[in-house]
Amino acid sequence: MMKKRILVATIAALAATGAQAADMNKVLRVAFNVPETGFDPAKVSDTYSGAILENVFDPLVTYDYLARPAKVIPNTTVALPTVSADGKVYTFKLKPGIYFAPDAAFKGQKRELTAADYAYSIKRHLDPTINSPWSFLVDGRFAGVDALVKAAGKGALNYDTQVEGIRVLDKYTLQLTLNEGNYNFLQILAMPAFGAVAREAIEAYASNTNAKPVGTGPYTLKEWKPGNKIILEANPNFRKLVINGQTLPKVGRVEVSIIEEEQPLWLAFVNQQLDISGIPQAALQEALVIDPKNPLNVKLQDKYAKQGIQLERKKDLEITYQFFNMQDPVVGGDAKEKIALRRAIAMAFPRNETIAAIRRGQAVPVHYVIPEGVAGHNPAFKGAVKYDPAAANALLDRFGYKVGADGLRTQPDGKPLSIEMATGTSGIDKQWNEYWQKAFDSLKIRLTFKYGKWNELNKANRQNKLQMWGLAWGADYPDGENFMQLLYGKNAGDANSANFKNAEYDRLFEASLQLPDGAERNKLYDAMNKIVVAQQPWIFGDTRIRSSLAHRYVKNFKLHPLLNTTWRYIDLQK
Amino acid sequence: MLAYILRRLWQMVPTLFGVMLLLFILFNWVGGDPSYILAGKSFSAETLANIRHQLGLDKSLPEQFLIFVQQVLTLDFGTSWSTQQPVADILGSRIGPSLTLALPMLLVSLLLSVIIAAIVAYVRGSLTDRLVTLICTLAMSVSALVYIIAGQYWLAHKLGWFPILGWSDSLATNLWLYVPLPLLLGLVVSLAPDIRFYRSCFVEEMNHDYVRTARAKGLSEQVIMLKHVMRNALIPVVTSLMMSLPYLFLGALLLERFFGIPGMGNEVLNAVDRSDFPVIKAITIYVALATMLFNLLADIVYKLIDPRVQLK
């Protein structure tokens, strides 16, 4: 709260000097630790590309930079949309006078943003020739659009066909009609992937839309060296955006370096070659004083605090989990002995040790399918099993998993018991594997690892060939539905990696979709979590806590739970 | 000579075909399916089928191989599956930074290692020779990663003699600002094994009868070393040099990653990681071609160094 007040006060104080346009002499230098893939909102889904999209394109709505919990506010619209009584029809009124960044595709003309641009941009996610990684968020959602998609077959969508679900009422009015009411719809539309593109720009650069993003956002792509450097410059056509008296953006140029190794990333920040940076795992002890009794209690090391370096922390809106393939004959199924096996494995895994050793204490255990900070989370619900290898062994004994002559357990029917866990090949994967091996050894169960790249393991999982695998799910939008759907039966083989199918869970999930965020829906979520605890399709993992640093001269530095970047709000006063 | 060159060029065709076949089999066996990366975190079977269709992965393997053959014949590998950028543009933008670092590194390393190797071979058995051999052995036993991490930490961070990392569009800026530290560390890594190897070559030559005969004829040590020993010892040096030239195109992976150099090394790693077959194909084919061409060049240089060498 105090930080927020200081930030607002700072913004107000700066505002007293008068609103100003972006200063092209101010260069913000930041880094990604994973390479981006491109900048077409309908073609990329990685976080890092999304961070650039956020600055180049404008979705209809966005998040308030300062409000916590995250709050959707109008972005290019004059107000939040009007919504029909049945929650199906959303009508958006765009602000006139918003222009795309200058581009050759516009042939020297200033190009105004219209409702048709949003209609086109949303339809692109449904175009079979684009294969948008976000199509799952819009598929089957808009009235009458399915027929349009079906008519396209494997070809391009006919964008000129008017459909009931996505209608342009006039130049500035867009009406979206949903098949079913959806309480998360605005949050979905706030995602960078739903920023407006201009059809003529997309068509002009059809062969390489990833390299030619043209939007109405505060920045425009000046230079892109894939996997090495991304340079953004303030969009000269950017509308007058005044927040707390300040005209945004403040910084004229943003230089993003891709630095995949931890040491150069950290040293580049310390040596002021970067203005803002996350703290790599290897540098946590160097940067922070971590209270050994409570590792979440941290402060900057004195030498950095004295330099005026600012520390911001946020709990990711994510969960990690190890799933069991519920269709697998050894670890899956509803039978009591199968549940006991899954429960015993969960009880033998030293989660707190992995948080201390691998996460360096910078994570909290997951107890609920929905993480903290996401609507529907219940902090009082403790769903994770307690670490207790002795009780786990007793459980296995009780359900007939006998220890054979070779010192390893067999299945209750006497068949050998061997479990294969999918894993990557990185150094961090090896660390995790050591703990899993230790857990399985303590249970006297043979464990083997199936190594592979993420895409290969994903393929194997969709082909029902995996028994166990660890995954993470980050919030696409801050609503419990985005997490609870991970175990919805109809999503089995897709987002529901565990292939979990439980009629009661599905019934509750479908009922929850009819409710807004609130006590009534939370009751359903609690009931669903109880099913998850009882059936144990997952072993709950952890939620990571990120620490970010900024140098003294970086002003308005504040992390947002959902926005990947806040560059437009940042000022530099060296 | 011309007939020899033509014959060798002709022999490259089946070799290249073998490389293509091997690469194709390996990629289809263990390369990973890129459609699962492109589809995102939640997708339908139709989306997956569409992606596979667009990438040509739904075609039969012989058809896919034929497309590969066409690509090699035209040297047009299409666009990257992961970023959609033309492969030619990707490689074109990567090769410059890789060569800016690797070429000076190779030349300076060659020059220094040959000179030092010749000197210690000349004074073989002396304290200097033993000291250099000991230092080289110790230096070789340390991982390249240690040099890079320690060098960057001390020379750039602690002493501030160099920037931590960076790259510019200006060749001059790169050569005087960003290349020196990775170059220095690259030299530290490569010098020790090169000196050891070249020293052995020189010592072996100096033990031959013709050196004793030259001495008996009263030739000076300088003439013996530079005119006789050097010429013969250079043949393995040329072999080693020619063998390493194709790898210039692959860049120095670790140095590029640690010093933010947008070279080929990182591109190779990313392409493999993302199952980006067009990029992998292009890089493999170019490196295979370069290897064969530099091998041919090495044979020609043997002939120039020592006219007694017969090219058959």
Of B84, B90, B152, the CB nearest to A210: B84
Task: Tokens for A307, please give them.
Answer: 């330099």
Collect all residues of chain A within an 8 Å Cβ-Cβ radius of residue B46. Answer: 128
Q: Which of residues 114-133 of A touch B (CB under 8 A)?
A: 128-129, 131-133
Burial class (CB in 10 A: 0-12, 13-18, 19+), B154: exposed
Nearest-CA distance B60 → chain A (Å): 19
The CATH class, in words, for B88-305 is mainly alpha
Interface residue A520 vs chain B (CB under 8 A): no
Contact criterion met (CB < 8 Å) for B44 and A455: no
* Chain-chain contact of A136 with B42 (C-beta, under 8 angstroms): yes
Residue A264 to residues A14, A169, A277, A542, B143: CA-CA distances in angstroms?
34, 53, 11, 28, 18
Is residue A278 assigned to a domain?
Answer: no
The Cα A257–Cα A53 span in angstroms is: 16
Residue of A303, A266, A260 whose CA lies nearest to A282: A266
- In a mutational test of the A interface, the residue from B33, B165, B264 whose CB has the highest number of chain A CBs within 10 Å is B165
* Any B CB within 8 A of A460 CB: no
Facing A133 at nearest CB: one of B39, B85, B275: B39
Distance from CA of B34 to the nearest CA of A (A): 7
Neighbours of B195 (CB within 10 A): 27
CB contact under 8 A, A43 and B51: no
- How many Å apart are CA A100 and CA A463, to the nearest integer? 44
Shared domain for A336 and A458, answered yes or no, is yes
Do A516 and A560 fall within a single domain? no
* Cβ-nearest to B50 among A154, A208, A271: A154
Kindly determine whether residue B38 and residue A133, on different chains, have CB atoms separated by under 8 Å.
yes
Assigned token pair, A87: 């929650």
Separation of alpha carbons A263 and B149, rounded Å:
7
Q: Does A43 touch chain B (CB under 8 A)?
A: yes
Nearest CA to CA, how far is A153 from chain B (Å)?
10
Question: Which residues lie below 8 Å from residue A549, measured CB to CB, with a gap of 6+?
Answer: A269, A276, A277, A278, A279, A287, A300, A304, A309, A310, A311, A312
Minimum Cα–Cα distance from B54: chain A residue: A129
Determine the residue type at A189: L
Same domain, A90 and A160: yes
Whether A296 is in a domain gets the answer no
A59 and B CB contact within 8 Å: no
**Residue B89 burial (C-beta neighbours within 10 Å; 0-12, 13-18, 19+):** middle
Q: Give the number of domains in chain A.
A: 2
Same-domain status, A22 and A88 = yes
Residue showing tokens 């492969």: B87
Amino acid at A214: V
CATH number, position A180:
3.40.190.10
In a structure prediction context, what are the per-residue pLDDT tens digits for chain A, which is 574 residues long? 444 444 444 444 433 333 347 999 999 999 999 999 999 999 999 999 999 999 999 999 999 998 888 899 999 999 999 999 988 999 999 999 999 999 999 999 999 999 999 999 999 999 999 999 999 899 889 999 999 999 988 889 999 998 999 999 999 999 999 998 888 899 999 999 999 999 999 999 998 999 999 999 999 999 999 889 999 999 999 998 888 888 999 999 999 999 999 999 999 999 999 999 999 988 999 999 999 888 889 999 999 999 999 999 999 999 999 999 999 999 999 999 999 999 999 999 999 999 999 999 999 999 999 999 999 999 999 999 999 999 999 999 999 999 999 999 999 999 999 999 999 988 899 999 999 999 999 999 999 999 998 889 999 998 899 999 999 999 999 999 999 999 999 999 889 999 999 999 999 999 999 999 999 999 999 999 999 999 999 999 999 999 999 999 999 999 999 999 999 999 999 8
Residues A537 and A428 grouped into a single domain: yes
Residues A555 and A538 in one domain: no
> Domain with A424 in it: what CATH number?
3.10.105.10
How far is A390 from chain B, CA to nearest CA, in Å? 37
CA A110, A113, A118, A121: dihedral to nearest 10 degrees? Answer: 20
**Residue A565 shares a structural domain with residue A493:** no
pLDDT tens string B4-55: 888 888 989 999 999 999 999 999 888 888 888 888 888 888 888 888 998 8
Residue A248 to residue A571: CA distance in whole angstroms: 9
Would you say A513 and A481 are in contact if contact means Cβ atoms under 8 Å apart?
Answer: yes
CA–CA dist A387, A321 (Å, integer): 15
CB contact under 8 A, B262 and A459: no
**Which residues of A fall within a CB distance of 8 Å from B54?**
129, 131
Relative to beta strand A363-365, strand A288-290 is unpaired
List, for residues B221-243, the tens digit of each pLDDT value: 888 888 888 888 888 888 888 88
The number of CA neighbours under 13 Å toward the Cβ of A167 is 13
Which of A129, A268, A456 shows the shortest C-beta gap to B33? A456
Q: How is chain B split into domains, by residue range?
A: 18-74, 88-305
Give φ, ψ of B19 to 5 degrees: -60, -45
So what's the ipTM on this one? 0.86
Domain hosting residue A560, numbered range: 2-257+551-572
Instruction: Identify whether residues A466 and A377 lie together within a single domain.
Output: yes
Same domain (yes/no): A330, A424: yes
Say if A294 falls within a structural domain. no
